[in-house]
Amino acid sequence: MSPPPDPVTAMDVARLAGVSQSAVSRVFTPGASASKRTVEKVRAAAEKLGYRPNPLARAMITGRTRIIGLVVAYLENQFYPMALELLSRALQARGYHILVFMAENATEKVAEVMQELIDYRVDGIVTASVAITDDLAARMSALGIPVVMFNRGQDDPRLAEVTSDNIAGARRATRFLIEAGHRRIAHIAGWQGASTGRDRAEGFRQAMAAAGLAPVAIIDGMYDRDTAAAAARELCRGPDRPDAIFVGNDHMAFAVLDELRFGLGLRVPEDVSVVGYDDVPIAAWPAYGLTTLRQPVNRMVAATVEGLLGQIEGTAAPQRIRIDGPLIVRGSARKPEGYAP
């Protein structure tokens, strides 16, 4: 058996194309500049020789792998697959490769995933729905690996975060219910171990207090369908049920709607109004028609990518960015008298 042929190198491509090796490198480096004529010659030579750039070799030379780690705790919530797809596309358009890891919010599981990302020598990390401990934040900072928390916040200046303005959004959703004449309003909150859940519950409390109203109840729905459905069943089983429920995200709101309509035989919004938070695509389906606070996911993704790459390139410091979103009014909640969008 004959030995395998020697691999084609950038120098081989340079010789055939009649350019320098550095010109070949620029052609195959995302964001680097090269003339149209040089690009054409180099790519033609590479195609003829069957050359493919070696990212591991480039990483050894430049110290950059152009790999970004995306860490997510769970994908049942329809918001996260949508956000991760947008993040992946945006980063790939900037010449970065994506590694996606699943990590439970348990501290030891997150630490294991972070160690794997360190082993892959990622240039940066985006976490979605994942909590980072102070120890992990300190370790990432010491290693020079930027971290941006997406749709989650934490009081640590070493970590950048990009979220919707959860407190303002929850206030807006709750005021909408109050202006529609509701007075007995409950909140099925997101997991109170997460900043998003706590902030939305705080916005609900603020709007209720400003109107001189006391919540019927605030129940931690844990961002879980079954937990949220059980909470709705408990709230609405007796004669003193709430006349409106603000739910901490759409994933739980769909379960609440199903339980009210099919489990308890109640009419929505005639008997109980329901408002969610996220505005995932399913919210617009006629089967749900969910009134919900829209998370501006495109703007959140753009801010995440710019913030992360700015840190990688040394042109930006970690920032906390909160982006306001609109209330999208559909049929699951009674509208205020004379309401005009």
Q: Which residue has the higher pLDDT, 245 or 154?
A: 245
Q: What percentage of the chain reaches a pLDDT higher than 70?
A: 95
- Answer whether 67-164+297-323 and 166-296 agree in fold: yes
Least confident of 151-160, 248-257, 270-279: 151-160
User: Where do the domains of the chain lie?
Assistant: 10-53, 67-164+297-323, 166-296
pLDDT at 59 over 60: no
Q: What's the pLDDT tens digit per position in 205-241?
A: 999 999 999 999 999 999 999 999 999 999 998 889 9
pLDDT at 106 over 80: no
Question: Three-class SS of residue 289?
Answer: coil
Question: Three-class SS of residue 187?
Answer: strand
Q: What's the pLDDT tens digit per position in 148-187?
A: 999 998 888 888 999 999 999 999 999 999 999 999 999 9
Please state, in angstroms and rounded to a whole number, the distance separating the CA atoms of residues 26 and 80. 35
pLDDT at 80 over 90: yes
> Please, what's the b/e burial string for 19-48 (b: 16 or more CB within 10 A of its CB; e: otherwise)?
beeebbbbbbeeeeebeeebeebbbebbee
Q: What is the pLDDT of residue 215?
A: 98
pLDDT at 319 over 60: yes
Following DSSP, what letter does each residue of 207-226 receive, concatenated? HHHHTT---S-EEE-TT-HH
pLDDT at 58 over 70: no
pLDDT at 276 over 60: yes
Q: What is the pLDDT of residue 340?
A: 78
Provide the pairing of β-strand 124-128 with 67-72: parallel
Q: What's the pLDDT tens digit per position in 126-150?
A: 999 887 887 888 888 889 999 999 9
Q: Which residue has the higher pLDDT, 235 or 118?
A: 235
Q: What's the pLDDT tens digit per position in 90-100?
A: 999 998 989 99
pLDDT band, residue 34 (cuts 50/70/90): confident
Query: The tokens 């152009």 sit on which residue?
Result: 66
What is the helix (H) or strand (E) element at residue 124, kind and residue range?
strand 124-128
Q: What is the dihedral of CA 103, 105, 106, 110, to 10 degrees?
A: 40
pLDDT band, residue 64 (cuts 50/70/90): confident
Domain 166-296: CATH architecture, name and number where available? 3-Layer(aba) Sandwich (3.40)
Compute and round to an integer the Cα radius of gyration of the chain.
25
* Summary mean pLDDT of the chain: 91
Give the pLDDT mean for 36-52. Answer: 89
67-164+297-323: what CATH class? Answer: alpha beta
pLDDT at 32 over 90: no
Q: What is the pLDDT of residue 56?
A: 55
User: Would you put residue 33 in left (φ > 0), alpha (ψ -120 to 50) or beta?
Assistant: beta
